[in-house]
C-alpha cells in the first residue's frame, strides 16, 4: 500500500523499524510540546518532518511520512492491546496523557467556534470521534492536484472509518475541511450522562497522528452527539474511569501552564525593569553630552573674545605707528616695516599659545656630525636633507586635524588625492577583495604574479590606447614608482653616469636615482618667460635638449638616459604626440634611454584636453630604449598602497629588474586586490574615474578663482593635483634665499607648500600648491596663506595713508581669523578687507605691490 502526498508524490510506508528506533521515535513524539503542536496545528506535516530531522541527528534516517505511518500503526496496536505488559504500552500511555495535558488548557477552533474543555469518550463507543473498532483501518485518501488547481492550495485529507473501498462514492458526503480539534465531552454531574462532541478532524487521541484534514461534517455533528450520549448511558462505569483519569491529567497540564505563565510574567517584569534602567542611563548620557556641548560653546566664545581683543590691540598699535610717522619723508623704505618682523608680529597675535612648535630644521639647533658607526655612503644618506623631506617630516610630526589638532600643519605640499576616499572605501570593502589564495601567501615571481602582469598589460593597452596588445612578460611590478626609478637608474647607468631631465621636475627623483646608485641628474633648464620659438612658459624643445647635452659633455658627464614626465609634475603640461616623437627621435639619435613617467595619465580632468601616451604611438623610434612607468598611488588615490610598474620591450632590462625585484616586492594580497580593481571596468568607467575627474575639476576651479582674486599669476593646466603659482612679488628680493625664507614662514605658521628650488626651478618665487583636499581644508589653508603674503605687504609704503580707525575695527569685528570659526566667513572677510585696504592705500599713492 502506498500513501499519496497532497502534491502528487508517492511515499512508501515505513518498514523495518528496529526496537531502539521505535523507542527513540516514541520518546520524541510523546513530549508535551510535540503533542501540543499536533493538537493545535491545522496542518502538522512539519511536526513530523521535525521529528524525522531529530531522528536523523541521532543517526536514524527516516522521513516525516515514515514517522507518521509508524505512529499510526503503533496507536492502532495500542488500542487493540490494553494490557500493560504489551510492548511500548507505557510509552503510548504517557503520550496519551501528554496529549490530554496539551489539550486540556487550550482553546481549539471548531468551524469558527471554540472549545475550551476536552472530554473523553467511553471505551468501545461507536460515536464519531472515537477510535475505530478492532480490525477497522484508518486510511488517508487524497487527490492529486493538477497544475491548474495549484493556486487553490492542496486538498484536505479525509479520515474514513471502516474498510477501504475505492468505489465507495458515499465518502464524498463526509468530505469537509475543518480545523484540527479534539473531541469535547460535557459531563452532567447529576445524571451521569456524557455528551460527546467530536471534532471534524479526529477522535482526539484517535486521530492517528494529529494530522490535518476533514472528519465529521457539521451536518452530522448533532447525530454524533446523540449517539455519543446514548452510548455513554449504557457504559457509564468505564467512561467514568477514563474521565477521572483524564481529569487528573488535565489538572497536571494546568499546573505546567500556570508555571509557564508565572515564568513569563516574571520575565516580562525583569525586561521592563531592564528597559527602564537603560532608558534612564540614556537620558543621563544625553544630559552629560548637552552639558559638555554647553561647556565647549562657552570655551569657544571665550577664545573668540580673546582673539578679537588680541587682533584689535595689534592693529591699533600698527595704525598708531603709521600715523605717528606721517611727518616723515614719503620715501620711507621697506625696512620700516620689514616682511619677516611684521609677519611674525601678526602671527604671534593670530596664533594661539597652545599651537605646537616645530623646529625649522630637521636637526634643530644641533649640528649634524659624522657617525663613526656608518660608512661614508651611510653617512651621506643620513645627512642628506632635501627641502621636500624637511617639510614632509615636520608635517608628519604635527598634522592638522579638526578635532585632535586644529592648529597643526595643513598640507598643500604633498601630492596626494584626498577627494575619493568614500569611493575607494566602499569598493575595497566588497567581498571579492577579501579572498586569499595560497599562491598569494607564497614567494612570487619577483616581477609580479602572472595574473597581475596580465591585468596590467590589458589595462595599459586599453587606457593608453596601444595600437596592439601589450605583452604581460614585459611588465615588471615593484613597490612604488620611486623603487622603479631607483632600479632603472641602477640597471641603465653606472655611478659616474648622468641622466638628462627638464627642470623644474618632481624633486624626489634626485633621491630616487642618487641615494642607492649615486647617479647624477643633469638639468635642462626651462624658463617662465617664453623665448625663441616657445609658445608657452616652461616649454621643452629639442633645441633645449641639444644645448643641455652639449653642456654636459663639456663638463665631462656621460649622459645615458632622458627622463620625461607626462603629464608634467609640477607644471601640469601634457605633451602632444608630435612633441613626444621629436623627443624620442632626439634620444635615438644620441642612443639615450628614455624613461617616461605617466603616473598622472588618468588625472587629466578637462574634457577638451587629451592625453597621448608613448604606448599609443604606432612604431616607436627606438623601442629597446623606451621604458614607460605607471603606478596606482595617484590614479587610484591610494598613495599608501605602494605599487608601481614599468613596461619595456627590452628583455635584458626585464631580466635585470627581476634580480632587483627581490628587494622591491609587493605583498601577494595587495597584488590580488589590484587585480580585482583593474578587472572591474564597470566600476572604473561608470563610477570611479568620472567622479574622480569631476571632483578634481571642482577643486581646481575653486583654487584658481582664489588665486585670481589675489592677482597671483599661475599656469592654468588641466592635469595633475597641483597648480604652479608665481609668488615672486611677495619676495623682498628675487633670490632663492628669500624664496626659502617665505617657504619657512609658511611652514612655521602651519601651511606646507613646495617652493620652486625643491623642483630645481631656475626662477625664484614659484610654488607648487596642491588642491586635491577637502574644501574646508583648502579654505582654511588659503586664509592663513592670505595673511602671511598680503597683510605685511600693505604696510611697505603706508606711512602717509589716512585710514579710518573706526571703519578698520568694524571690518575686523565682522570676521575673526580663528581655526575654530566659520572658515568661509573668515575667508570672505579677509579677502574683502585686504582688497579694501589695498585700494585705500593705492589712492593715497603710498602702496606699491
Instruction: Give the single-character DSSP code of 97.
Output: H
- Strands (DSSP E) contained in 462-608 are 475-478, 497-503, 520-525, 558-565, 593-597
Helix axes 64-80, 19-29, angle to 10 degrees: 90
- What's the mean pLDDT in 664-691? 94
Q: Residue 243: which pLDDT band, with cuts at 50, 70 and 90? A: low
Whole-number pLDDT of residue 83 = 53
- What's the mean pLDDT in 449-463? 95
Percent of the chain at pLDDT above 90?
Answer: 39
Whole-number pLDDT of residue 24 = 86
pLDDT tens across 97-122, in order? 766 665 554 443 333 333 333 333 33
CA dihedral 776, 778, 780, 782 (to 10 degrees): -150
Contacts of 343 (CB under 8 A, 6+ apart): 745, 788, 791, 792
- What's the mean pLDDT in 424-431? 91
- Asked which of 19-33, 354-368, 793-807 is least confident by mean pLDDT, the reply is 793-807
Alpha carbons 792 and 345: distance in angstroms, whole number: 10
- What's the mean pLDDT in 471-497? 95
Q: Residue 831: which pLDDT band, with cuts at 50, 70 and 90? A: low
Q: Which of the listed ranges 216-230, 253-267, 498-512, 521-535 does the model predict with the highest average pLDDT? A: 498-512
Which is higher by pLDDT, 247 or 112?
Answer: 247
SS3 content of the chain, % helix, strand, coil (to 5): 50, 10, 40
For the chain, domains (ranges, CATH) are 2-248 (no CATH), 334-368+392-408+694-843 (3.90.1150.10), 451-665 (3.40.640.10)
Q: Residue 370: which pLDDT band, with cuts at 50, 70 and 90? A: confident
- In a 3-state reduction of DSSP, which class is residue 691? helix
Instruction: Check pLDDT > 80 for residue 826.
Output: no
- Contact between 633 and 481 under an 8 Å Cβ cutoff? The reply is yes
pLDDT tens across 578-591, in order? 999 999 999 999 99
Q: Residue 784: which pLDDT band, with cuts at 50, 70 and 90? A: confident
Among 688, 203, 669, 666, CA closest to 422: 688
Whole-number pLDDT of residue 670 = 93
Alpha carbons 188 and 233: distance in angstroms, whole number: 11
Percent of the chain at pLDDT above 70?
Answer: 64
Sign (positive or negative) of CA dihedral 303, 308, 313, 315? positive
- In a 3-state reduction of DSSP, which class is residue 719? strand
Q: Residue 178: which pLDDT band, with cuts at 50, 70 and 90? A: very low
Whole-number pLDDT of residue 743 = 92
Alpha carbons 707 and 841: distance in angstroms, whole number: 21
Instruction: Check pLDDT > 90 for residue 445.
Output: no
Instruction: Check pLDDT > 60 for residue 181.
Output: no
Which is higher by pLDDT, 374 or 93?
Answer: 374
Question: Is the pTM value of this prediction over 0.75?
Answer: no
Whole-number pLDDT of residue 182 = 38
Q: Residue 705: which pLDDT band, with cuts at 50, 70 and 90? A: very high
Q: Is 42 exposed, middle or buried (0-12, 13-18, 19+ CB in 10 A)?
A: middle
Q: Residue 677: which pLDDT band, with cuts at 50, 70 and 90? A: very high
Whole-number pLDDT of residue 82 = 56
Q: Residue 300: which pLDDT band, with cuts at 50, 70 and 90? A: confident
Give the distance from CA 201 to its chain's centroid: 57
Whole-number pLDDT of residue 451 = 94
Strand partners, 726: 766
Instruction: Check pLDDT > 60 for residue 161.
Output: no
- Contact between 677 and 662 under an 8 Å Cβ cutoff? The reply is no
Q: Residue 354: which pLDDT band, with cuts at 50, 70 and 90? A: very low
- Contact between 502 and 569 under an 8 Å Cβ cutoff? The reply is no
Whole-number pLDDT of residue 251 = 54
Among 704, 830, 705, 815, CA closest to 769: 704
- Asked which of 297-306, 328-337, 659-668, 711-720 is least confident by mean pLDDT, the reply is 328-337
Which is higher by pLDDT, 826 or 614?
Answer: 614
- Asked which of 255-264, 769-778, 797-806 is least confident by mean pLDDT, the reply is 797-806
- What's the mean pLDDT in 491-515? 94
Whole-number pLDDT of residue 177 = 38
Instruction: Check pLDDT > 70 for residue 489.
Output: yes
pLDDT tens across 306-315, in order? 776 676 666 6
Whole-number pLDDT of residue 244 = 54
- What's the mean pLDDT in 386-391? 86
- What's the mean pLDDT in 333-345? 36
Which is higher by pLDDT, 40 or 169?
Answer: 40
Q: Residue 198: which pLDDT band, with cuts at 50, 70 and 90? A: very low
- What's the mean pLDDT in 474-481? 96
Average pLDDT, the chain: 74
Instruction: Check pLDDT > 70 for residue 486.
Output: yes
Whole-number pLDDT of residue 68 = 87
- What's the mean pLDDT in 783-793? 64
Instruction: Check pLDDT > 80 for residue 640.
Output: yes
Which is higher by pLDDT, 794 or 24?
Answer: 24
Whole-number pLDDT of residue 296 = 87
Q: Which of the listed ranges 84-88, 133-137, 247-251, 663-667 does the model predict with the highest average pLDDT? A: 663-667
- What's the mean pLDDT in 789-793? 54
Q: Residue 173: which pLDDT band, with cuts at 50, 70 and 90? A: very low
Please state whether beta strands 113-115 and 108-110 pair in parallel, antiparallel, or not at all (unpaired). Answer: antiparallel
Alpha carbons 498 and 501: distance in angstroms, whole number: 10
- What's the mean pLDDT in 769-795? 75
Instruction: Give the single-character DSSP code of 818.
Output: -
Amino acid at each position: 500500500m502506498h500513501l499519496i502526498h497532497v502534491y502528487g508524490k508517492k511515499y512508501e510506508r515505513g518498514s523495518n523499524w528496529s526496537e531502539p528506533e521505535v523507542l527513540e521515535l516514541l520518546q520524541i513524539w510523546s513530549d508535551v510540546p510535540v503533542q501540543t503542536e499536533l493538537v493545535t496545528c491545522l496542518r502538522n506535516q512539519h511536526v513530523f518532518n521535525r521529528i524525522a530531522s531529530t531522528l536523523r541527528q541521532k543517526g536514524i534516517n527516516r522521513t516525516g511520512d515514515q514517522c507518521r505511518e509508524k505512529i499510526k500503526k503503533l496507536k492502532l496496536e495500542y488500542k487493540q492491546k490494553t494490557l500493560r505488559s504489551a510492548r511500548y504500552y507505557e510509552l503510548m500511555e504517557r503520550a496519551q496523557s501528554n496529549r490530554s495535558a496539551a489539550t486540556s488548557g487550550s482553546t481549539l477552533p471548531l468551524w469558527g467556534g471554540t472549545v475550551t474543555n476536552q472530554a473523553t469518550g467511553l471505551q468501545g463507543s461507536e460515536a464519531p470521534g472515537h477510535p475505530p473498532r478492532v480490525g477497522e483501518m484508518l486510511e488517508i485518501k487524497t487527490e492529486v492536484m493538477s497544475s491548474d488547481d495549484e493556486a487553490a492550495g492542496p486538498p484536505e485529507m479525509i479520515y474514513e472509518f471502516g474498510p477501504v473501498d475505492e468505489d465507495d462514492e458515499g465518502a464524498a458526503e463526509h468530505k469537509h475541511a475543518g480545523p484540527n480539534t479534539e473531541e469535547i465531552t460535557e459531563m452532567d454531574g447529576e445524571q451521569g450522562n456524557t455528551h460527546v462532541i467530536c471534532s471534524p478532524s479526529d477522535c482526539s487521541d484517535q486521530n492517528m497522528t494529529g494530522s490535518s484534514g476533514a472528519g465529521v461534517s457539521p451536518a452530522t455533528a448533532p447525530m454524533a452527539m446523540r449517539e455519543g450520549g446514548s452510548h455513554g448511558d449504557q457504559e457509564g462505569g468505564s467512561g467514568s474511569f477514563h474521565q477521572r483519569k483524564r481529569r487528573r491529567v488535565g489538572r497536571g497540564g494546568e499546573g505546567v501552564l500556570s508555571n509557564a505563565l508565572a515564568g513569563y510574567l516574571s520575565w516580562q517584569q525583569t525586561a521592563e525593569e531592564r528597559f527602564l534602567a537603560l532608558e534612564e542611563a540614556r537620558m543621563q548620557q544625553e544630559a552629560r553630552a548637552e552639558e559638555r556641548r554647553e561647556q565647549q560653546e562657552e570655551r569657544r566664545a571665550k577664545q573668540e573674545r580673546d582673539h578679537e581683543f588680541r587682533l584689535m590691540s595689534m592693529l591699533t598699535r600698527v595704525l598708531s605707528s603709521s600715523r605717528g610717522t606721517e611727518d616723515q619723508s614719503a620715501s620711507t623704505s621697506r625696512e620700516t616695516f620689514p616682511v619677516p618682523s611684521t609677519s611674525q608680529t601678526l602671527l604671534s597675535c593670530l596664533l594661539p599659545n597652545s599651537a605646537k612648535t616645530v623646529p625649522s630644521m630637521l636637526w634643530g639647533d644641533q649640528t649634524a656630525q659624522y657617525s663613526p658607526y656608518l660608512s661614508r655612503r651611510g653617512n651621506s644618506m643620513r645627512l642628506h636633507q632635501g627641502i621636500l623631506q624637511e617639510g614632509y617630516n615636520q608635517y608628519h610630526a604635527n598634522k592638522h586635524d579638526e578635532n585632535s589638532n586644529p592648529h597643526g600643519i595643513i598640507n598643500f605640499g604633498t601630492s596626494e588625492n584626498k577627494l575619493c576616499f568614500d569611493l575607494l572605501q566602499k569598493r575595497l570593502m566588497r567581498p571579492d577583495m577579501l579572498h586569499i589564495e595560497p599562491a598569494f601567501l607564497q614567494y612570487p615571481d619577483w616581477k609580479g604574479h602572472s595574473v597581475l602582469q596580465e591585468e596590467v598589460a590589458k589595462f595599459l593597452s586599453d587606457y593608453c590606447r596601444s595600437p596592439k596588445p601589450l605583452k604581460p612578460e614585459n611588465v615588471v611590478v615593484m613597490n612604488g614608482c620611486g623603487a622603479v626609478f631607483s632600479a632603472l637608474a641602477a640597471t641603465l647607468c653606472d655611478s659616474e653616469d648622468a641622466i638628462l631631465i627638464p627642470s623644474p621636475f618632481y624633486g624626489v627623483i634626485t633621491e630616487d636615482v642618487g641615494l642607492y646608485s649615486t647617479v647624477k641628474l643633469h638639468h635642462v633648464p626651462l624658463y617662465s618667460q617664453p623665448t625663441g620659438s616657445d609658445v608657452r612658459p616652461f616649454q621643452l624643445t629639442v633645441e633645449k635638449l641639444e644645448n643641455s647635452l652639449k653642456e654636459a659633455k663639456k663638463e665631462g658627464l656621460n649622459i645615458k638616459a632622458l627622463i620625461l614626465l607626462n603629464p608634467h609634475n609640477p607644471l601640469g603640461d601634457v605633451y602632444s604626440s608630435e612633441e613626444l616623437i621629436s623627443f624620442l627621435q632626439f634620444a635615438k639619435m644620441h642612443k639615450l634611454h628614455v624613461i617616461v613617467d605617466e603616473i598622472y595619465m588618468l588625472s587629466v580632468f578637462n574634457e577638451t584636453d587629451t592625453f597621448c601616451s608613448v604606448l599609443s604611438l604606432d612604431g616607436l623610434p627606438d623601442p629597446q630604449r623606451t621604458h614607460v612607468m605607471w603606478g596606482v598611488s595617484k590614479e587610484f588615490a591610494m598613495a599608501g598602497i605602494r605599487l608601481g610598474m614599468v613596461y619595456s620591450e627590452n628583455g635584458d632590462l626585464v631580466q635585470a629588474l627581476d634580480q632587483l625585484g627581490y628587494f622591491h616586492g609587493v605583498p601577494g594580497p595587495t597584488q590580488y586586490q589590484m587585480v580585482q580593481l583593474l578587472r572591474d571596468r564597470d566600476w572604473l568607467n561608470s563610477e570611479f574615474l568620472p567622479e574622480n575627474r569631476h571632483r578634481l575639476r571642482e577643486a581646481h576651479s575653486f583654487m584658481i578663482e582664489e588665486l585670481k582674486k589675489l592677482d597671483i599669476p599661475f599656469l592654468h593646466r588641466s592635469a595633475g593635483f597641483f597648480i604652479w603659482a608665481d609668488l615672486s612679488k611677495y619676495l623682498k628680493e628675487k633670490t632663492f634665499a628669500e624664496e626659502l625664507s617665505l617657504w619657512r614662514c609658511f611652514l612655521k605658521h602651519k601651511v606646507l607648500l613646495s617652493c620652486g628650488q625643491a623642483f630645481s626651478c631656475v626662477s625664484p618665487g614659484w610654488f607648487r600648491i596642491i588642491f586635491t583636499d577637502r574644501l574646508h581644508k583648502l579654505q582654511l589653508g588659503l586664509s592663513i596663506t592670505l595673511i602671511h603674503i598680503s597683510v605685511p605687504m600693505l604696510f611697505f609704503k603706508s606711512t602717509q595713508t589716512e585710514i579710518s580707525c573706526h571703519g578698520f575695527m568694524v571690518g575686523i569685528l565682522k570676521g575673526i581669523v580663528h581655526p575654530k570659526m566659520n572658515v568661509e566667513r573668515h575667508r570672505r572677510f579677509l579677502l574683502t578687507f585686504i582688497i579694501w585696504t589695498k585700494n585705500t592705500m593705492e589712492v593715497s599713492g603710498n602702496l606699491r605691490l
